């Protein structure tokens, strides 16, 4: 049974900022990476969220998925899993090029 994926307000803002950045250069690229990100949510996070490791900066209960966008641009998808309600809560979409302590968790 799949998990329900909920995207928190901070993660929505960060994802929107990333997609807006891409749209400045190419609507096609923005749509490509939006679809890839949705695939991550629909496939990996909803089906096997605990397969991925805990976020090294915070440890449990936060998990991470490394999302590769463009060459040399990757993001941590930081999330929590509630086994009881079978919910994955995406907390942050954090660029790996930023200082780890800037994720706000």
How many domains are contained in the chain?
1
* Per-residue pLDDT reduced to its tens digit, 6-44: 999 999 999 999 999 999 989 999 999 999 999 999 999
Is 104 part of a structural domain of the chain? no
The domain that holds 50 is classified in CATH as 3.30.2310.20
- Residue 75 Cα distances to 2, 33, 60, 103, angstroms: 24, 12, 19, 11
Is 88 part of a structural domain of the chain? yes
* Per-residue pLDDT reduced to its tens digit, 67-85: 997 777 899 999 999 999 9
Is 103 part of a structural domain of the chain? no
Q: Indicate yes or no: pTM above 0.95.
A: no
Specify the DSSP element, H or E, that contains 37: helix 27-39
Q: Give the span between the Cα atoms of 67 and 82, in whole angstroms.
A: 22
Cα first-last separation, the chain:
29
pLDDT of residue 104: 57
Is 105 part of a structural domain of the chain? no
Who contacts 14 (Cβ-Cβ below 8 Å, separation ≥6)?
92, 93, 94
Whether residue 51 has pLDDT greater than 80: yes
pLDDT of residue 82: 95
Domain that holds residue 10: 4-97
């Amino acid at each position: 049974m799949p998990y329900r994926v909920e995207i928190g307000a901070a993660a929505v803002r960060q994802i929107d900022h990333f997609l807006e950045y891409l749209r400045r250069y190419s609507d096609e690229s923005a749509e490509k990476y939006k679809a890839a990100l949705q695939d991550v949510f629909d496939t990996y996070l909803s089906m096997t969220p605990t397969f991925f490791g805990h976020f090294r900066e915070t440890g449990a209960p936060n998990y991470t998925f490394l999302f590769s966008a463009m060459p040399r641009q990757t993001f941590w998808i930081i999330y929590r899993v509630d086994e009881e309600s079978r919910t994955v809560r995406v907390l942050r979409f954090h660029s790996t090029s930023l200082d780890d302590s800037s994720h706000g968790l």
